[in-house]
Amino acid sequence: QVQLVQSGGGSVQAGGSLTLSCATSGYTNSPYCMAWFRQAPGKEREGVAVIEDGAKTKYADSAKGRFTISKDNANTLYLHMSSLKPEDSAMYYCAAHWLVRCELTSQFRHWGQGTQVTVSS
């Protein structure tokens, strides 16, 4: 079965940087689309960034210019976050699917366990 295991969350001060990782396994063909989502208490889950096979990326407006999504040859997914703001505080989830579309609004079937990011002011 497909598994996504996250690491790298934590607490940082505003303006700081943090990198999240998501190790993937349990499949034969590489995921066509991988993504990072986040959800803060009382808010809807928000797509932060997606990366498709071929490394094309899309970002939420809130993440553009500050966050970078990437993956390595082992299909480990990363989210490098810089210039962090308190409003970035949320539970962050990685996700993957094998569908053609790779958008922030795509429906993802496979999810990581989540990791908390807390940004203090």
- Low-confidence spans in the chain with pLDDT less than 50: none
Backbone CA torsion sign across 121, 112, 46, 74: positive
What pLDDT score was predicted for residue 19? 98
Alpha-carbon distance of 121 to 99, in angstroms, equals 39
What pLDDT score was predicted for residue 101? 85
Distance separating the N- and C-terminal Cα atoms of the chain: 40
Percent of the chain scored above 70 by pLDDT? 100
Tell me: the pLDDT tens digits for 39-67? 999 999 999 999 998 789 999 999 999 99
What pLDDT score was predicted for residue 99? 85
| C-alpha separations of 90 from 2, 17, 42, 80 in Å | 24, 15, 11, 15
What pLDDT score was predicted for residue 100? 81
What pLDDT score was predicted for residue 59? 97
User: Using H for helix, E for strand and C for coil, what is the string for 20-44?
Assistant: EEEEEECCCCCCCEEEEEEECCCCC
